[in-house]
Amino acid sequence: MKTVNSVLTIAVGRDMESDFEELFSGKPLSEIQQSANMLYLESYEQLNKLLSPKKMDLLRYLIEEQSNQKPKSISEIAKELNRHQEAISRDISALKNLGFVFLQKVKQTVYVLPVYSKVNIELC
């Protein structure tokens, strides 16, 4: 699986129903101001529960490193971010379960790649 060159928009407090209605209103898609990839959250607490500051830093790091075109292993990431490998593994597992990253195993080494090239957080 290759990294998708697309943007994920996380909308905190945005009304999903009104976006859904707009999407099926018959308007041309060029007039609709919605991202193709949306994650709707009700509150800041929900955002913090899904993406703690450490997970956000890790995701930002992975997206920035993607431009190098050389994936990083979990141990390389831990060393570069000065964090314990176990903590990085837990955060990577959580990000994988959310669909933000995927893992690629080559021989004995597991590499981490972001699914999205950019993540926008909209506070509504």
- Domain limits of the chain? 7-123
Over residues 13-53, the pLDDT tens digits come to: 877 777 777 777 777 766 776 667 888 898 999 999 999 99
pTM: 0.80
Separation between Cα atoms, residue 1 and residue 45, nearest integer Å = 32
Q: Which fold has domain 7-123?
A: Arc Repressor Mutant, subunit A (1.10.10)
End-to-end C-alpha distance for the chain, whole angstroms:
33
- Taking the CB of residue 66, how many other CB atoms lie within 10 A of it? 18
pLDDT of residue 5: 65
